[in-house]
Amino acid sequence: MDSSVLLEALSCLTGLPVKPHSDTAGLGIDVGQLTVHNFVSSALLPLILSKEEVKEPQSEQPKELRVNLDTFYAPKFNYDFRNLRDESECTRGGEPYIRPCGWFRFALKVLDKYPDGNGWLGPAGWRSGSVAGEWPVSYHGTGRQGQTPITGQREPQEFGIFSTPDIKLAEKDAELHKEFSSKNGKSYRVIMQNRINPEHRVTKSDSLWLVRVPLEVYALTDDKKRKEEMKKIMDLSIRPYGVLLKEM
């Protein structure tokens, strides 16, 4: 699958046009940089804030993003699950890992990118069991607040990022995946494949996990400070390592 489709998928996930860093068109506008480290906050922070009443445009919000695919994308770790039919039982981080059969994974260049090393990923290659220090796998993330996507029950104090260990649920639930039409004439679903820090995860059910944003953070009146605190929480809690695509 061509990497140009990856750029379109990143645009879909972040809600902003994403172009290669070599593209100098439009540099007169406010342009931000998309990296492995800020990908999670670029994609997920707007999902929390989008639940609020929009008061006025955010002046610090970039109009476009540039990405250096050489430092963002790790094609040697791509994996084609599109023709895979696998019901093998396996775990990651002590939790069941449901492989994303039917999807193509663009791998992100996350090795040696974090100060705590690579233990959160575990060793490369196929294996059925977990290893110590590894984080569980979750899919996508939604900023939905106050209502679970599974039961629809009201939970007014629950602010944060929801994700699921179940790829089938992520594909079915409209807030756990996104969709876009490509310039190649095809339409795709796109999902982030993450590792989630078990120390910062709240298990709402077997199929729904929450990284909670404390109410006192969500209620901060200093908008810049609030975003900074939310970003810290996300950076500690969720690390995307793949972008999954499936043709519709």
Give the whole-angstrom CA distance, residue 57 versus residue 54.
8
Rounded to the nearest 5°, which phi and psi values hold at 137? -90, 135
Closest CA to 42 of 121, 179, 114, 141: 141
Residue 143 tokens read as 């900023």
% of the chain residues with pLDDT over 70: 85
Q: What is the pTM of this model?
A: 0.89
pLDDT in tens, 133-175: 999 999 986 655 444 555 555 455 567 888 999 999 999 988 8
The distance of Cα 22 from the centroid of its chain, to the nearest Å, equals 24
pLDDT in tens, 27-83: 556 788 999 999 988 888 877 776 554 444 555 677 899 999 999 999 999 999 999
Give the whole-angstrom CA distance, residue 199 versus residue 86.
30
